[in-house]
Structure 1
Amino acid sequence: MSKSIISIKQFFSLFRLAISGRAQDFTTGSIRKAVFLLSVPMILEMLMESVFAVVDIFFVSKVSVNAVATIGLTESVVTLIYAIAIGLSMAATAIVARRIGEKDVSGASQAAVQVIFLGVAVAVIISIIGIMFPKEILQLMGGAPDLIEEGYGYTQILLGGNVTIMLLFLINAIFRGAGDASIAMWTLILSNGLNIILDPILIFGFGPIPELGVKGAAIATTIGRGAAVIFQLFILCYGWSKIKIQLKDIVLRIGVMLNLIKVSLGGIGQFLIGTSSWVFLMRIMSEFGSEVLAGYTIAIRVMMFTLMPAWGMSNAAATLVGQNLGANQPERAERSVWKTGKYCAYFMGIVSIGYLVFATEIISWFSLEPNVIKNGSLCLRIMAAGYVFYAYGMVVINSFNGSGDTLTPTIINFICFWLFQLPFAYIMALTFDFGPTGVFLAIVIAEILISVIAIIWFKKGRWKLIKV
């Protein structure tokens, strides 16, 4: 009894330490403690990121089926922005973590500035396209004319303000690489709080504020993310994290920039492969009508809510790999990955049981349309069957990225997504008339395949020799 009380006290003590943001050295001491201290704020951060999606769907589902489908089509395009942001953030985490492991804080700060420069440059280009061609983008994705007219404002605002998405990802990646995961967590809490308050006000109207419908969700999300970015920049400039950007750092450094681009190209390619395949899957789903598309969109948003904690744990593994390789401790880096993968598998296994049992009830929280519930719950159950595999796959893939080896996951994604998933989904859904079920099966089998190949490749150990 006394031992259990002590362990509970220790748990809450470590939990408070994890969210406090107090500086830690993750290259020495207990690996289990290091995984916990990094994972807790990263899990909470990723949960906050997925709350954006769930909150928007919850409120927008009260507007119309077309409004929900609009979010699904737009988000499938926004995933291309995520691909670039996540690819750059991989490089940011890997390089910053390596410099922190080497005790080179100045080098980490210089890398952070170049990351921000790159993010802003890319975001400006995407903003111009999003503002000028929102209707064409939705039409390209297979949206019906009435859906386009109702929802193009959402697409225009979300893509036009994508700099908030880009910088939120990149600056949080800088904090994670430095081991300051709690700061990344608090920025997401701020942005989500604003989004939750503003969503119903802007979507349904309040007092002098007119009812904006689905467009209001985009405005609320952009304001929430924008406020978080301002908070992040304030922290970087005033040195509340391990990294402090000074005036002398705000210059273009070609050497640092080229190193960053070299590492990020693999990450960007990796996620462009994954997310472009997601766009094509959404295009296949649009063949079955707005109700099926809405059910699929709701199920994916719900899944993201539980995939994000697993992603948080995988980010913890990436930071531990980067910092321990920087400290010339490759064996400690490897042990960190297997421990994190085990904890992630426990979590995902529990979640999968919940989805298998309560899928219909969960989808019905977001829609009362029978066909939406039917397809959404079917998607959720099929996806949940592979959750334990996802756990190890996400941790191992992100560990490659944390080492700076972004090429290996790119090759794995190409094989599993483009050479397997897309042809399999098309043939099963449209040629053999499995319909949406064919798409769902293609997704889960491809993810299992990724996990198996990644683990085999990881055990070869070549990632330990990567220099960044």
Structure 2
Amino acid sequence: MADDQPQPRQPTPTAPALSARTRRILEGPVAPTLLRLALPNLGEAAARIAFISFDAVFVGWIGTDALAGVSLAFPFFLLMQMTSASGLGAGVNGAVARAMGAGRRDDAAAIAWHAVLLALAIGGVFTLLMLAGGPWLYAALGATGGGLAAAVTYSAIVFGGVVAVWLMNLMANIVRGTGNMLVPATAIMAGEAVHLALSPTLILGLGPVPQMGVAGAALAVVASYATGAMVLAWHLLSGRGEIRLAAARPEHRHFAAILGVGVPAALNVVQAQATMIVATGYAAAFGTVALAGYGAAARLDLLQIPLTFAMGSAVIAMVATSVGAGRLDRARRVAWTGAGLGVLIGAIFAAVAVFLPEGWMGLFSDDPAAIAAGADYLRRVGPSYPVLGLGLGLFFSLLGLGRAKAPFLAGTLRLAVVALGGWAAIHWLGGDLRMLALVIAAAALAFTLAMLAVAAATRELRR
């Protein structure tokens, strides 16, 4: 009978083909794997810190007008850098990692191409906006004479080349999404080496190079990002990585995979900058000494961010890869391990703030009044650093899960506490910088409590 005939064997479903690097992310011990991934990012963090610090030093050689003009334009450039690296870049990192975790390398490569298209488009738009509106913007902010001329010159060059910034940062996050943190860190450090070498040469005119002043400083910045972008482009185009960059037909789903997380994450970056600007404005209301003390003390706050981001990039990649592979249990373990590391990083900075505040302040000022004001601020705000580290750790985990709206709301709460609490401290309570420190600490606590509430409501993060 026909039923007695042997039936052909049905093919068994095959597991998706995963690269060796992806398997290590999915199968290696959580904490050592996370630390191994994050380690190269520390070099990148050092390069970012050097860029921010030395750019001001180099420009200061030219004169007061140059320093004033660049100081006016630089925050807008820095916002562009942060928005591309940890804003839209987080969306790229997570989208590529989820595709890699699911074994969909073709989708990961297509997402990479869409990220490059976004870098070209967004960078081009900001170039046009700042070339057209930059001079008006800087004049509206109060720049005049030589300071205005310096701001316009510096801005025209750095924003004329801002596509290189977007390309470098989004391509860096493409590679991070594949689980490779070493190549992006190497590219960014190579770019900073170019910046350190070119800046004095172009600014002062060493050897056969003519003195270019502010224009030379701006060209060195663009060259540094172009260098990093070329290193990353070579890696992605050569096929030496997990995926090869190649042109693909634009698809809505790939843009949506990036922008669904990247846009809210970018708004979080803007939010964080707004929080710092508001706090600085309130510190200025307490007088010049308080502002000087706050400005030096707040540099410790700023240093916590790139180091936490070094860990956070690895958390996004590991969580997203685990989600793509359907390993929600592992995504949960990575998330809470990352949160614990965020607490540890915060605790290190808290120790400096609480036990060595005068030593920290002495690095930036020799004014006893400013040192005392900054030290008082640090003693009060310092204990909140580990609390903020916990909240930031959960923030990166949620980005890895593709959830960016709730962290945005938590950041809104933090900004509101600083804005309203600072206003109350000045106008209702007649407080000083020490009270502002308590308001900023309370804002960090509110942010982290909101993030813990989100984590409790997120199925993938419930213990």
- The two structures share one fold, judged by TM-score above 0.5: yes
1:255 aligns with 2:268: no
For 1:310, the equivalent position in structure 2 comes to 308
> 2: CA distance between counterparts of 1:288 and 1:370?
17
Partner residue, 2:115:
115
| Matched residue type, 2:111 | A
- The aligned residue for residue 180 of structure 1 is 180
Flag the 1:282–1:63 CA change in 2: closer, same or farther, 3 A.
Answer: farther
Residues of 1 paired with 2:287 and 2:160: CA distance? 27
Summarize the Cα distance change of 1:445–1:92 in structure 2 as closer, same or farther, 3 Å threshold: same
1:160 is matched by which residue type in structure 2?
A: G
Closer, same or farther: CA 456–402 of 1 in aligned 2, 3 Å: same
* C-alpha deviation, 1:410, in angstroms: 1.1
Give the alignment of 1:7-406 within 5 angstroms. Answer: 25-61=24-60, 70-82=69-81, 84-85=83-84, 86-141=86-141, 147-246=147-246, 249-281=247-279, 300-301=298-299, 303-362=301-360, 365=363, 383-406=381-404
Structure with max Cα Rg: 2
Residue 277 of structure 1: how far off its partner (Å) = 4.0
Task: Please name the residue that 2:422 is paired with.
Answer: 425
In structure 2, do the counterparts of structure 1 residues 370 and 24 end up closer, same or farther at CA, with 3 Å as the change threshold? farther
Counterpart amino acid of residue 272 in structure 1? V
Distance (Å, rounded) in 1 between the aligned partners of 2:452 and 2:194? 40
User: What is the rounded CA distance, in whole Å, between the counterparts of 2:39 and 2:290 in structure 1?
Assistant: 36
Q: Which range moves more in the overlay, 164-173 or 58-67?
A: 58-67
Q: Give the number of aligned pairs.
A: 442
Percent identity reads: 20
Counterpart in the other structure of 1:7? none
Superposed displacement of residue 93, structure 1: 1.3
Deviations for 1:199-231, whole angstroms, at most 9, x for unmatched residues? 333344423445545554333222111111111
| 1:450 alignment partner in structure 2 | 447
Contact 2:338 2:397 in 1 (8 A): no
Cα distance in 2 for partners of 1:71, 1:188 equals 22
Q: Secondary structure at the match of 1:122?
A: helix
Structure 2 CA distance for aligned equivalents of residues 62 and 378 of structure 1: 32
- Measured on the aligned residues, the alpha-carbon RMSD in Å equals 3.4
**Within 2, Cα distance between the matches of 1:284 and 1:335?**
40
Q: Which residue of 1 aligns with 2:457?
A: 460
| Between 278-287 and 303-312, the greater mean CA deviation after superposition | 278-287
Distance 1:312 1:139, change over 3 A: same
Shift of residue 408 of structure 1? 1.0
2:12 maps to which residue? none
Cα pair distance change 1:36/1:63, threshold 3 Å: same
Q: 2:245 is paired with a residue of what secondary structure?
A: coil
Instruction: Give structure 1 stretches of 5+ with no counterpart.
Output: 1-20
CA distance in 1, matches of 2:157, 2:288: 22
One-letter amino acid of the counterpart of residue 329, structure 1: R
Name stretches of at least 5 consecutive residues in structure 2 with no aligned partner: 1-19
Q: Match of 1:4?
A: none
Aligned CA distance change for structure 1 residues 425 and 136 (closer, same or farther; 3 Å): farther
Q: In structure 2, which of residues 407, 412, 417 is the aligned counterpart of residue 414 of structure 1?
A: 412
Is 1:59–1:200's contact at 8 Å kept on the other side of the alignment?
A: yes
* Secondary structure of 1:25's aligned partner: helix
Structure 1 residues 234 and 416, CA gap change in structure 2 (3 angstroms): same
1:380–1:334 distance in 2 versus 1, CA, 3 Å: same
Aligned match of 1:14: none
Q: Name which of structure 1's ranges 179-188 and 21-30 shifts more when overlaid on structure 2.
A: 21-30
